[in-house]
Structure 1
Amino acid sequence: ETLTANDEGKYTIPAAKITGTALTVKVEKTEKSALTVDVSKYIELNGKNMWLVKAAGTVSEGKVLAYDGSAMFWSEKYHAYSFLVVSENTEEQMKTEAAGKIAEADAEKTELAYDFDVNLSSKVDINDAQLTYDMYNAKYEDFDTVSMHKFLDADVTGDGKLTVEDATAVVNSFIK
Structure 2
Amino acid sequence: MVGGIARATFGLDLPSEPEPRLPSEPEPPRRPDTRPWYKKLAETIAAILAALLFVSAFLAAYAAVGRHEEWYVPELLRLKGELMLKGTPHRSVSSAEQCFSDARQLARQQGALFWELRNAVSLARLWAAQDRKAEARQIIAHVCKTLGDSPQIADVREARALLDGLDAKE
Scaled to the shorter chain, the TM-score interval is under 0.3
TM-score (norm 1): 0.27
- Relative to total residues, which structure has the larger strand share, 1 or 2? 1
Per chain length, whose mean CA-contact separation is higher, i.e. which structure has more relative contact order (CA < 8 Å, sep 6+)? Answer: 1
